[in-house]
Chains A and B, each alone.
Chain A
């Protein structure tokens, strides 16, 4: 079974939104754009406990109660051997015909002015124009026999989760257990006998009863008992943590630990139903309370454990995405209205081993509003410095500088474009020797053409590979390159970082670095010497760089 898409109409933030889905989905975007409401839309369809709350007028987009709320989820069930597809078929019965490969699940709610609420009505089937109304049994719809929703709040409370599900989690049904349970009961009785024989307890009981009777004389007496005797065995057990090399028990006090234990409990709960129902995990901001390292561990569990086959996560944390693969990235944003856009992301085969390297930067970038893609760490250092001077809050404004080294531009750039995240490319005017011919292909130009998708720049090979040849090539095409700057936000260097910087402030560089040829010096030990330079650059220097034609990419991304 595969999630295909969802449309939401007239529900809370969403006037009318359509999104592609996959089985693992990550929803991100600024606060208050409706990520939680998006999960609510799914929960109204799949979670009986939410659905029975019905809809209030405030659930209608802008309180437009004349129009119905409509949510449609599309699933692909063409894989007939898949057991989840079979679970659906078994309930859909004749609503699914031989020619159908998709199942549509539709929720419709019309506002009833006399009842002051809207009752959700569910339909499903293989033909969107001719869906069957789902049969209802109490507040259960047919769909509730197929799906099981595990919703994990960002502030999940371990103890109440444990108590609520303790009877499902712990089953003492062996014959031997009966004996033990009888023994426990005896021990509890004994415990209470001991408690009530304590002088302090007796005294307290003797004082308390007449005090109570002052208020109300009902012929009762008050006695003090252990809670376990009154509420049963399970009221009194909670998880403790014992370290392997330590005999003492520790309460599961830390929020991080509690949260991981809670996840473990959800795991077990999902297993209980695994073969009978399709479990959907809806997880809200799992990063809360978790240290970076634990977030990364959680990321590993969510994206590599096949228990989480159907996953819908909202998050603000790039660490949760470090292990992402085969995942649908959904960016929810607000322009004229709340909108969403999505793209499917699969770690390319050749990056399987370098998945973290690739994902780390991408995870950061997709949370940004604007991304500046640069060649490597030298650019990253210099541009961060310049922006932090000119635009001290650039990170707060959602500007992210992404060095693509080792990965290349196209991987990032295509995902960012699909998610409609504004990005600026700053790349070098590279040339590459053609084997055996003594000529050079114009690699930088080809790269630009490639990103644009059109042959705007000439690609004839040239005869020479020198700084001046590169400059000449640039100047010969400056009109086209300027057009590419303004229309596509792609900024080609005249030569490369060091030479372009040298052109801006040769003398100043020489002074600062104490070198006659700052380009050679900087290129000699790139990383180390760039750090040295950055420490020495003044605010005025930074402004000079910022305002120069050669580094206009900075202005583009910052303004």
Chain B
């Protein structure tokens, strides 16, 4: 894939840089190319840190980088501060009591109220946990304390990293923003942030899109806006650009309005109506706010003639400890035909001890797990054996979740969602994905606050060539219509200028 002029400019702009990248503009592609170039140009011992919000995104960057990345850090924001700040330097600030092995557990059972409670939990149990208040971030608060109070930590970070790249910056909460700006402004580590405040769908758990905007106003950052959407057709771009003041100027009228269909059906005939405009040979997705609605929607669409597969949230996906990768790898090993022991091995996190990777042993243990599937107790014991062999710990409730995921076939589709042409999912799980055709429901977005607007923006921009908006007759859907009309009016545009009402 070649680079557009603005992407070239981003790649060649040195120093601190913030990039606002609308949906579909080739964010990951640009960032990967920038990292590769800057690693190549660097002649010192220093390395980069590429920080993402999800393990999947980190893996994607690793897969796409063709340069040698063994010494570089590529991982999630939590693993960055845990591996590079907390584990190595907590003892430097809090004393040798904290020179211990640490694991993470963000589950509900492990949550605590105060900073001190969380510190005690590390000392007593070796567990890094989170606050009951999910808008506050213990891990980053602790990292901030350590960086500010440990000279060794500061010197280490400065000696190690020549640049930090942070993806999806709009999802950062206040504590993360504070730490990243400390690294940039006080430790003078060059920083690259990329994001889109329009896609802030995690405000409910503390994400703080203002942080992103505040960097846009900083003097020591270069700023570049990336607005050319390579995913969606012109009409869908128009629609999404009109949602925000910052992008409304990008609107330009189109003659053909057939890419966005506005339906006002009844609760009983909506599926039949929708299918009239869906091309069954192209990929499509029904995006809903709740899992229940996604499941029901799939079944109604299927009854009406096109099979939609509901992709559920799996029980193993709820596991958030650092053993999570193992449960999901075992599930894939058992459920997916082409997922072998070698794929399991490739998922072992880099921090693990190399000597524990004897292939034949892992193969033997995996086949033992597979054979034990008929007996839950034997199965759990076999999983535990492998976990211990790899240096991890299992928990009873997690083992239960794994067993449930494997034995209940309805979860299996979640492991190969890309296999199905038509799917129904929540829009939270659609982030980073794209579909030819997208079906959304007006009632999922009242458009009365930032969060709802962002949700709508993300859902709309998943569509490449067709967006179907289903507006039933209910209060939330009416709110949507009223607010959308108002928003468009700010640009002097009416709803009918950008879509076709049927």
CB distance B91 to A97 under 8 Å?
yes
How far does the alpha carbon of A136 sit from the alpha carbon of B353 in the complex, in Å?
9
CA A511 – CA B43 in complex, angstroms?
Answer: 78
Q: Which of A49-57, A83-91, A403-411, A493-501 contacts B (4 or more CB under 8 A)?
A: A83-91
CB nearest to B92 among chain A residues: A97
Contacts of B159 in A (CB 8 A): 85-87, 89-90
How distant is the Cα of A97 from the Cα of B156 in the complex, in angstroms?
Answer: 10
* B156 touching A275, Cβ below 8 Å: no
Contacts of B355 on A, CB cut-off 8 Å?
Answer: 136
Q: A87-B159, A89-B159, A89-B160 are contacts. A98–B151 as well, Cβ < 8 Å?
A: yes
A98 to chain B, nearest CB (A): 4
Interfacial chain B residues near A137, Cβ < 8 Å:
70, 354
A496 to chain B minimum Cβ distance, whole angstroms, is 61
Chain A-chain B contacts (Cβ-Cβ < 8 Å), number: 62
* Residues of chain A contacted by B44 (CB below 8 angstroms): 83, 275-276
Q: B152 contacts A90, CB within 8 Å?
A: no
Q: How far is the CA of A94 from the CA of B154 in the complex (A)?
A: 11
Tell whether A100 is near chain B: CB-to-CB under 8 Å. Answer: yes
Contacts of B291 in A (CB 8 A): none
Per-position 1/0 for A321-341, Cβ under 8 A of B: 000000000000000000000
In the complex, A137→B352 CA distance in Å?
Answer: 11
List 28 contacting pairs A-B, 8 Å CB cutoff, sorted by A: A80-B155, A85-B159, A86-B45, A86-B159, A87-B45, A87-B159, A89-B152, A89-B155, A89-B156, A89-B159, A90-B45, A90-B47, A93-B156, A94-B152, A96-B152, A97-B91, A97-B92, A97-B150, A97-B152, A98-B150, A98-B152, A100-B152, A136-B355, A145-B45, A145-B71, A276-B44, A276-B45, A277-B45
Q: Mark A373-405, 1 if CB is under 8 A from B, else 0.
A: 000000000000000000000000000000000
Q: Which residues of A contact B84 (CB under 8 A)?
A: 93
What B residues does A87 contact at CB under 8 A? Answer: 45, 159
Contact A93 B88, beta carbon cutoff 8 Å: yes
Among A85, A87, A94, A97, chain B packs the most CB atoms within 10 A around the CB of A94
Q: In the complex, which residues of chain B have a beta carbon less than 8 angstroms from the beta carbon of A276? A: 43-45
Which residues in B have their C-beta under 8 angstroms from that of A145? 45, 71
> How close is A538's CB to chain B, nearest CB, in angstroms?
70
Q: Is B46 an interface residue (CB 8 A)?
A: yes
For the complex, give the distance between the alpha carbons of A98 and B92 in Å: 7
C-alpha spacing A195/B132, complex, angstroms? 83
**Chain B residues with Cβ under 8 A from A146's Cβ?**
45
CA distance A276 to B88 in the complex (A): 23
Please give 15 more A-B residue pairs, beta carbons under 8 A apart, in addition to A86-B45, A97-B89, A137-B354.
A80-B155, A86-B155, A86-B158, A87-B159, A89-B152, A90-B46, A90-B156, A93-B160, A94-B89, A94-B156, A95-B88, A96-B156, A100-B152, A136-B355, A146-B45
B window 19-76: CB within 8 A of A: 43-47, 70-71
Please determine whether B354 and A90 come into contact, CB atoms closer than 8 angstroms: no
Those 7 A-B pairs whose CB atoms lie nearest each other, nearest first: A94-B88, A86-B159, A90-B160, A89-B159, A98-B151, A98-B152, A90-B159
* Interchain nearest-CB distance for B457 vs A (Å): 40
Across the interface, which residues of B come within 8 angstroms of A136, CB to CB?
354-355
- Nearest CB in chain B to that of A97: its residue: B92
Compute how far the CA of A90 lies from the CA of B152 in the bound complex, rounded to whole angstroms. Answer: 10
Q: Tell me how far the C-beta of A132 lies from the nearest C-beta in chain B, rounded to whole angstroms.
A: 10
CB distance from B130 to the nearest CB of A (A): 23
Interface residues of A in 97-115 (CB under 8 A from B): 97-98, 100
Which residue on A lies nearest to B87, using beta carbons? A94
The residues of A that contact B88 with a CB separation of less than 8 Å are 93-95
Do the beta carbons of A94 and B92 come within 8 Å of each other? yes
Q: How far is the CB of A8 from chain B (nearest CB, A)?
A: 28
Q: How far is the CB of B40 from chain A (nearest CB, A)?
A: 13
A96 surroundings in chain B (CB, below 8 A): 152, 156
Chain A, residues 210-246, CB within 8 Å of chain B (1/0): the string is 0000000000000000000000000000000000000
Q: Which chain A residues border B156 with CB–CB below 8 Å?
A: 89-90, 92-94, 96
- Once bound together, how far apart are the Cα atoms of A136 and B352, in whole Å? 11
Chain A residues, Cβ within 8 Å of B89? 94, 97
Q: Which positions in A face B, CB cutoff 8 Å?
A: 80, 83, 85-87, 89-90, 92-98, 100, 136-138, 145-146, 275-277
CA distance A86 to B47 in the complex (A): 12
In the complex, chain B residues 91-114 whose Cβ is within 8 Å of any chain A Cβ? 91-92
Shortest C-beta distance, B100 to chain A (Å), equals: 12
Interface centre among A83, A90, A96, A145 (most CB of B within 10 A): A90
Closest residue of chain A to B47, judged by CB? A90
* Chain B residues closer than 8 Å to A80, beta-carbon distance: 155
Question: CB-defined interface of B307-349 with A at 8 Å, one 1/0 digit per residue?
Answer: 0000000000000000000000000000000000000000000
B45 contacts A94, C-beta separation under 8 Å: no
In the bound assembly, the distance between CA atoms of A11 and B274 in angstroms comes to 82
- Closest partner residue, chain A, to B158 (CB atom): A86
Do residues B43 and A275 form an inter-chain contact, with CB atoms below 8 A?
A: yes
* A145 CA to B44 CA, complexed, in Å: 12
Compute how far the CA of A333 lies from the CA of B299 in the bound complex, rounded to whole angstroms: 90
**Shortest beta-carbon distance from A79 to chain B in Å:** 11
**In the bound complex, CA of A92 to CA of B45 (Å):** 13
- Bound form: Cα–Cα A306–B66 in Å: 36
CA distance A137 to B68 in the complex (A): 15
Interfacial chain B residues near A98, Cβ < 8 Å = 92, 150-153
- B71: chain A residues at CB < 8 Å are 145
Q: In the bound complex, how far is the Cα of B159 from the Cα of A92, in angstroms?
A: 10
From B153, B159, B355, name the one whose CB has the most chain A CB atoms within 10 angstroms: B159
Report Cα–Cα, A90/B46, bound state, in Å: 8
A-chain residues with CB within 8 Å of residue B155 when the two chains form the complex: 80, 86, 89
A25 to B16, CA, bound (A): 43
Which residues on A sit within 8 Å (CB–CB) of B160?
A: 89-90, 93
- How far, in whole Å, are A444 and B468 apart by their CA atoms in the complex? 109
CA distance in complex: A275, B162 (Å): 13
**B residues less than 8 Å from A92 (CB atoms):** 156
Complex contacts, B43 vs chain A, CB 8 Å: 275-276
Which chain B residue has the least Cβ–Cβ distance from A145? B71
For window 149-201 of B, CB contacts with A under 8 Å fall at 150-153, 155-156, 158-160
- Residues on A with C-beta less than 8 A from B70 are 137
A85-B159 Cα distance, complex, nearest whole Å:
8
| Distance between B27 CB and nearest chain A CB, rounded to angstroms | 29
Measured CB to CB, the closest approach of chain A to B281, in angstroms, equals 45
- Identity of the chain A residue whose Cβ is nearest the Cβ of B88 in the assembled complex: A94
Task: Give chain A residues whose Cβ lies under 8 Å from the Cβ of B153.
Answer: 98
Closest residue of chain B to A126, judged by CB? B152
In the bound complex, how far is the Cα of B151 from the Cα of A275, in angstroms?
24
Least CB separation from A92: chain B residue: B156
A89 and B154 CA atoms in complex are apart in Å by 10
Report B-chain residues with C-beta under 8 Å of the C-beta of A138.
354
Give the CA-CA distance A352 to B88 in the complex, in Å: 47
Closest Cβ of chain B to A255, distance in Å, is 35
Distance of A95 Cα from B156 Cα, bound (Å): 10
B92 proximity list for chain A (CB < 8 A): 94, 97-98
Once bound together, how far apart are the Cα atoms of A86 and B156, in whole Å? 8
| Chain B positions within 8 Å of A83 at CB level | 44-45
Residues of B within 8 A of A275 (CB): 43-45
What is the minimal beta-carbon distance from B243 to any residue of chain A, in angstroms?
45
B248: shortest Cβ distance to chain A, in Å?
46
- Kindly state the separation between the CA atoms of A87 and B47 in the bound complex, as whole angstroms: 11
Nearest CB in chain B: distance from A92 CB, A = 8
- Min CB gap A46→B, angstroms: 16
> Bound complex: CA of A146 vs CA of B44, how far in Å?
11
Closest CB-CB distance, A339 to chain B, in whole Å?
37
Across the interface, name the chain A residue whose C-beta is closest to B44.
Answer: A275
User: Smallest CB-CB separation from B149: which chain A residue?
Assistant: A98
State the CA gap A406–B91 with chains docked (Å).
Answer: 58
Q: What A residues does B47 contact at CB under 8 A?
A: 90
Please give, as numbers and ranges, the residues of chain A lying within 8 Å of B46 by CB-CB distance: 90
In Å, the complex CA distance between A96 and B71 comes to 19
Query: In the complex, what distance in Å separates the CA atom of A145 from the CA atom of B72?
Result: 12
Complex interface: chain B residues within 8 A of A95 (CB): 88
